[in-house]
Amino acid sequence: MTFARLAAVLAVATAAAAPFHPAAGAASVSSAAKPFDANALVRLERVSDPRVAPNGRAVAYTLRTTDYDANKGMQAIWLHDLEAGTTRRLTAGKGSSHSPRWASDGSLYFLSTRSDSQQVWRLSLDGGGEAQAVTALPLDVGAFVLSPTGDRIAISVDSYPDLGADLAASKKRLDARAAQKNSGVLYDKLFVRHWDTWKNGTRAQLFGFALDEQGAATGNAQWLSNGIDGDVPSKPFGGDEEITYTPDGKSVIFGARIAGVSEAWSTNLDLFRVPSDGSAKPENLTADNPATDTGPVVSADGRWLAYRAMKRAGFEADRYAIIVREIGRDGQIGPAREVAPKWDRSADTLQFSPDGRKLYATADDLGQHRVFAIEVATGRAKALTGDGYVEGFALARDALIVAHNTLAGPTQLYKVKLSGSAPLQLTQHNAQTLDTLAFGDYEQFSFKGWNEETVYGHVVKPVGYVAGKKYPIAFIIHGGPQGSMGNHFHYRWNPQTYAGAGFAVVFIDFHGSTGYGQAFTDAISGHWGDRPLEDLQKGYAAALAKYDFLDEKRAAALGASYGGYMINWIAGNWSAPWKALVNHDGVFDNRAMAYSTEELWFDEWEHGGTQFEHPAAYEQFNPVNHVAKWRVPMLVVQGGLDFRVTLDQGISTFTALQRRGVPSQLLHFPDENHWVLKPQNSVQWHEAVTAWIKRWTAGE
């Protein structure tokens, strides 16, 4: 069967949704269906990045599959014909292919590793034929953007800024350094490492190329980010959404954080405009805003520049406001105007309507992640999708194509009419696999949390639920902390894997979470250990009172990142309910964290300044100060390449547990960062976590 039932979940009118949404295939699950687990999770096909053709007749997207034996994911480009309703694979053979982008002539450009280096390739869809190389650079291409006029391409490459546009020289230097017998690296400023990579002196730089009649890059590279001491796109997670051409193809607008000596504690990303031929150096368009400006898009008529902007410098989780500025005929850009100042949501992934009168954006919203249409003139915002999580979207004539998932199952593509009719499912990936799997039904609930404000949470029933029976509890605490754990099919912390293991799952969007207004998000800063803890305690009590199948005598709490911090915090401040704890990459000592993490702006905002200026703020909710009260068995998981919450935090947690005589285990992944990404590591992680909480919740 397919995900036809999800259409009702995706519909815009959601206020009257029935309790406990049935999981995918719940009504037809046979006794032979297997409970969903990590082995199934890592093997699911993953749909992402829909892109609609210029004629509106087809959508290209990326599909990730798993080569479990090779311990890696593989990507390919697929195409869905919106008129014929057919779906087919476009790329095959060696390497991975992803990031499909349509050219104005209807050909498809994409990134591929088929040549043993990641380069840009082009596929003409007229009459078939093989893909042709667009670039053959000596270095990997990280991202690219096509000019709307079809004659130019902008490409991001990690290279040495002092060598300018001579990419061959950058490759030669990299090879020479790799061949050196000595391994020491001398640093004189931060970052020395970022996310999971040590800095080597290169920067993601933006270069422009002309395209010949066959659509291939030709001539010498033009250095578009010349003079910018920063990465384009930004690291570690920026992509081509930070780069755009103007409709006439004459200019490129991109975002970058000027590094200098303050890169590790600055959130000041600015937008820059540069001639697309590199004939002048970039000009800063947002120098007056010391906070983040990013995600530029230009209306089809070239009249309006829109982008997302924060207002508070140093705060990475401030609300993204939507800003528009008029572009004059002389090229001058007018003053900034916020489009929807009363819309208390943080915008993401902007796109103009063809007439420039609306902007489409995604945003967290009450435990969901929806697409909104925002009128540029009035700021009126309307949700176009209902419950669930929109991973990406593209505009197709009178509809949106959305990559959408829920707790009921993984992402598929849907067509959502702008007129508001029921969505139409387009893809059927994983259908046969999902027919053999059993999932748990789920429900959202609410309660009065800190400050008597409404807080939301979710409960997922165990697979094979039987009325009248009680089940052990997996109480999951999300990271961020400015994030959300809601109606989302996640590939690392997926509640359905615990439901498949026989647990009832509870998770709370405590104060600090996103999608409930900026004041709700702001409430956690300076209050890591009290306000969110109060929400967790009240949410747990509310769940116990509402759902009689929750067995409070057999409960385990689990969390990662900030959630891991909270596991350490409750170990010394709320240990009574728990038979077992799981801490993944969690903070153990706020003081040490302040000097070992790489993105210093986060810790400094959350604690009101640096540790040496405000030591008391770092000690107020510091887990290390409560180790003497630790007693609950804990599994500690730590990535060796985690430079956000570093290895010493995990080892310190395990050392404290061992020294206290608390039953404990340490699972160390030397080849993983803040996340566990490799398929076989993911399965090992899930099996270890599940075995740990089963061990301690097996009975009285």
> pLDDT digits over 176-193, tens only?
999 999 999 999 999 999
Asked if pLDDT for residue 348 goes beyond 50, the answer is: yes
Question: Structure tokens of 667?
Answer: 């699972």
Phi first, then psi: give them for residue 387, nearest 5 degrees. -65, 145
Query: What pLDDT, on a 0 to 100 scale, did the predictor assign at position 31?
Result: 59
Average pLDDT over every residue of 146-161: 97
Number of separate helices (H) and strands (E) present in the chain:
13, 40
Asked if pLDDT for residue 376 goes beyond 60, the answer is: yes
Residues of the chain with CATH 3.40.50.1820: 438-697
Mean of per-residue pLDDT scores for the chain: 95
CA distances 606 to 446, 514, 601, 602, 623, Å, are: 26, 15, 8, 6, 16
Q: How far does the chain reach from its first CA to its final CA, in angstroms? A: 41
- 3-class secondary structure, 142: strand
Average pLDDT over every residue of 315-323: 98
Asked if pLDDT for residue 267 goes beyond 60, the answer is: yes
93 CB-contact burial (10 Å; exposed 0-12 / middle 13-18 / buried 19+):
exposed
Average pLDDT over every residue of 535-564: 98
Asked if pLDDT for residue 17 goes beyond 80, the answer is: no
Q: How confident is the model at residue 234 (pLDDT cuts 50, 70, 90)?
A: very high
Query: What pLDDT, on a 0 to 100 scale, did the predictor assign at position 1?
Result: 33
Q: How confident is the model at residue 541 (pLDDT cuts 50, 70, 90)?
A: very high
Residue 458 and residue 442 in contact, taking contact as beta carbons nearer than 8 Å = yes
Query: What pLDDT, on a 0 to 100 scale, did the predictor assign at position 13?
Result: 34
**Cβ atoms within 10 A of the Cβ of 256, count?**
28
Residues 6+ apart with CB under 8 A from 114: 93, 94, 95, 97, 121, 131
pLDDT tens readout for residues 569-580: 999 999 999 999
Query: What pLDDT, on a 0 to 100 scale, did the predictor assign at position 578?
Result: 98
pLDDT tens readout for residues 432-482: 999 999 999 999 999 999 999 999 999 999 999 999 999 999 999 999 999
Question: Structure tokens of 90?
Answer: 């476009």
Question: Where is average pLDDT lowest: 197-206, 322-331, 415-424, 661-670?
Answer: 415-424
Query: What pLDDT, on a 0 to 100 scale, did the predictor assign at position 23?
Result: 75
Residue 264 and residue 598 in contact, taking contact as beta carbons nearer than 8 Å = yes
C-alpha–C-alpha distance, residues 123 and 132, integer Å: 6
Q: How confident is the model at residue 30 (pLDDT cuts 50, 70, 90)?
A: low
Q: How confident is the model at residue 600 (pLDDT cuts 50, 70, 90)?
A: very high
C-alpha–C-alpha distance, residues 662 and 668, integer Å: 18
Question: Where is average pLDDT lowest: 24-33, 151-160, 199-208?
Answer: 24-33
Taking the model in full, what pTM does it have? Answer: 0.95
Question: Where is average pLDDT lowest: 24-38, 99-113, 512-526, 685-699?
Answer: 24-38
C-alpha–C-alpha distance, residues 390 and 406, integer Å: 9
C-alpha–C-alpha distance, residues 324 and 302, integer Å: 12
Asked if pLDDT for residue 224 goes beyond 80, the answer is: yes
The overall longest dimension of the chain from CA atoms, in Å, is 76
Q: How confident is the model at residue 700 (pLDDT cuts 50, 70, 90)?
A: low
Phi first, then psi: give them for residue 77, nearest 5 degrees. -95, 130
Q: How far is CA 624 from the centre of its chain?
A: 30
Question: Structure tokens of 633?
Answer: 């068995």
Query: What pLDDT, on a 0 to 100 scale, did the predictor assign at position 671?
Result: 98
DSSP state of 656: H
Residues 6+ apart with CB under 8 A from 467: 549
pLDDT tens readout for residues 621-655: 999 999 999 999 999 999 999 999 999 999 999 99
C-alpha–C-alpha distance, residues 271 and 285, integer Å: 6
Asked if pLDDT for residue 55 goes beyond 80, the answer is: yes
Query: Radius of gyration of the chain from Cα atoms?
Result: 25
Query: What pLDDT, on a 0 to 100 scale, did the predictor assign at position 220?
Result: 94
Average pLDDT over every residue of 587-603: 98
C-alpha–C-alpha distance, residues 289 and 281, integer Å: 20
Residue 243 and residue 254 in contact, taking contact as beta carbons nearer than 8 Å = yes
Q: How confident is the model at residue 5 (pLDDT cuts 50, 70, 90)?
A: very low
Residues of the chain with CATH 2.40.10: 351-433
- Sheet with 46-52, strands from edge to edge, namely 46-52, 58-67, 72-81, 87-89
CATH classification for the domain delimited by 351-433, as one of 2.40.10, 1.10.10, 3.40.50, 2.60.40: 2.40.10
**Cβ atoms within 10 A of the Cβ of 163, count?**
17
438-697: CATH homologous superfamily? Alpha/Beta hydrolase fold, catalytic domain (3.40.50.1820)
Asked if pLDDT for residue 24 goes beyond 70, the answer is: no
Asked if pLDDT for residue 695 goes beyond 90, the answer is: yes
Q: Which residue has the higher pLDDT, 29 or 340?
A: 340
**Cβ atoms within 10 A of the Cβ of 597, count?**
18
Q: What percent of the chain has pLDDT over 70?
A: 96
Residue 267 and residue 291 in contact, taking contact as beta carbons nearer than 8 Å = yes
C-alpha–C-alpha distance, residues 314 and 609, integer Å: 10
Nearest to 263, CA basis, from 243, 242, 234: 234
Query: What pLDDT, on a 0 to 100 scale, did the predictor assign at position 18?
Result: 52
C-alpha–C-alpha distance, residues 177 and 170, integer Å: 11
pLDDT tens readout for residues 110-130: 999 999 899 999 999 986 678
Determine the residue type at 415: K
CA angle 639, 529, 552 (to 5 degrees): 85
Q: How confident is the model at residue 7 (pLDDT cuts 50, 70, 90)?
A: very low
Residue 73 and residue 62 in contact, taking contact as beta carbons nearer than 8 Å = no
Query: What pLDDT, on a 0 to 100 scale, did the predictor assign at position 431?
Result: 96
Phi first, then psi: give them for residue 105, nearest 5 degrees. -90, 5
Asked if pLDDT for residue 138 goes beyond 90, the answer is: yes
Query: What pLDDT, on a 0 to 100 scale, did the predictor assign at position 28?
Result: 41
- Read out DSSP for 397-437? TTEEEEEEEETTEEEEEEEEETT-PPPEE---TTHHHHHTE
DSSP state of 421: P
Percent helix, percent strand, percent coil in the chain, to nearest 5: 20, 35, 45
